[in-house]
Copies of this chain bind each other. A is one copy, B any other.
Amino acid sequence: MEMTLKEIARILDGTVIGRDDVIIKNIMSIEEANEGDLTFIANKKYLKKMKLTQASAILVPPQTVAEGKNLIIVADPYASMGKLLMIFFPVEHGHKGISKDAYIEDGAIVSPEAHVFPKAFIRHGVKIDKGAVIYPGVYIGHNVAVGENSIIYANVTVYHSCIIGKRVILHAGVVVGADGFGFANPGKENNKIPQVGFVQIDDDVEIGANSAIDRATMGKTWIQRNVKIDNLVQIAHNVVIGENSIITSQVGISGSTKLGKSVIVGGQVGMAGHIKIGDNVMIAATASIHKNIKSGQIVAGSPHTSHKEWLKIEACRLRLPRMRATLEELVKKVEYLQEKINKSSSEG
């Protein structure tokens, strides 16, 4: 694909500084870009790299100055680059229609405008809407619904009766709707509690490779609109994740915990069960969350405190050896003073 800087600026609603007839053939990172490439800087701390880049033009934030460089000024260079990558590199699944080598049970309703690869397995009662793409090795259990234009990559498993919205992306190896982990008399009889609920995944959700979203004991586990979940994440039964939330890799959320809207959870965070996290909460990577968090809080640590308090505690933790030494010194000094005073008062 080839576009002039002028054309690109128009698409991105940006302003060209420099020559607007430069032809862009590719988009590259600032270190790798060469002539004919467009690159971007998202963060002012990378401004120095602009001088060294061989790129023909750079997407930059407002008020950026770079002598002799061709720039497109946009409000959000990272988002703009995303938009442009979609145009330069459209996703190609390379398969059209419903393969006769897919295994589709009687009683499944697959839109003739859906794309089903060979070796996909679709059971009775399933409904797949137009534009959906089902890769090889995918297993879709009975009575599952898959909405328009959703993409289900290779070797994903969706257990029966789950609901998947529109434009959802499930990456390879994802498991949706396996049994929640519930046993009566744990450690003794371990009597299995049947998990008879389901999982509902709303529109525009994306779930990363090998993540697992368990079905509810009763009712539903619910991933709301536009939630983005990274790889190897564990979502237990009856969890609710509010819309627009971001769940980074290797997070684990225990049963019945509810997250509000726009919650951002760093990598490897663990959350106890049956707690409530408010809207717009931010949780630092590797934190352990053991109780409710009010909307708008920023928390960190294990177990968590406010991020501000955590910074103080952490500063102390690092100087613990010095605190210990100071304390031991003080003990001696005070003993010495005590003796001296006792002596002087007995002398007195």
Q: Write out the residue numbers on chain B whose beta carbons fall within 8 Å of the beta carbon of A181.
A: 208, 228, 230-231, 248-249
- What is the distance, in angstroms, from A120's C-beta to the closest C-beta of chain B? 9
Chain A interface bracket (under 10, 10 to 19, 20 to 34, 35 or more): 35 or more
Q: Write out the residue numbers on chain B whose beta carbons fall within 8 Å of the beta carbon of A252.
A: 232, 249-250, 267-268
Whether B234 pairs with A249 at a CB distance below 8 angstroms is: yes
Interface of A (DSSP majority class): loop
Select A186's contact among B86, B171, B264, B303, beta carbons within 8 Å: B264
Whether B119 pairs with A103 at a CB distance below 8 angstroms is: yes
- What is the distance, in angstroms, from A106's C-beta to the closest C-beta of chain B? 11
Q: Write out the residue numbers on chain B whose beta carbons fall within 8 Å of the beta carbon of A341.
A: 337, 340-341, 344
Whether A234 pairs with B234 at a CB distance below 8 angstroms is: no
In angstroms, Cα B206 to Cα A178, docked, is 12
Q: Write out the residue numbers on chain B whose beta carbons fall within 8 Å of the beta carbon of A173.
A: 155, 157, 173, 175, 210, 212
Whether A210 pairs with B212 at a CB distance below 8 angstroms is: yes
Give A162-203 as 1s and 0s: 1 = Cβ < 8 Å from B's Cβ atoms.
000000010111010011011111111111111010000000
Q: Write out the residue numbers on chain B whose beta carbons fall within 8 Å of the beta carbon of A86.
A: 194
List A209-237 residues whose CB lies under 8 Å from chain B.
Answer: 209-212, 214, 217-219, 226, 228, 230-232, 234, 236
Whether A320 pairs with B330 at a CB distance below 8 angstroms is: no
5 nearest A-B residue pairs (beta carbon)? A79-B184, A157-B172, A139-B154, A316-B320, A175-B209
Given contacts A121-B136, A181-B230, A344-B345, 20 further A-B contacts (CB under 8 A): A28-B218, A88-B196, A89-B196, A121-B154, A173-B212, A179-B208, A183-B228, A186-B246, A187-B280, A189-B244, A212-B231, A230-B234, A252-B267, A270-B286, A272-B285, A316-B321, A320-B320, A323-B323, A333-B334, A340-B341
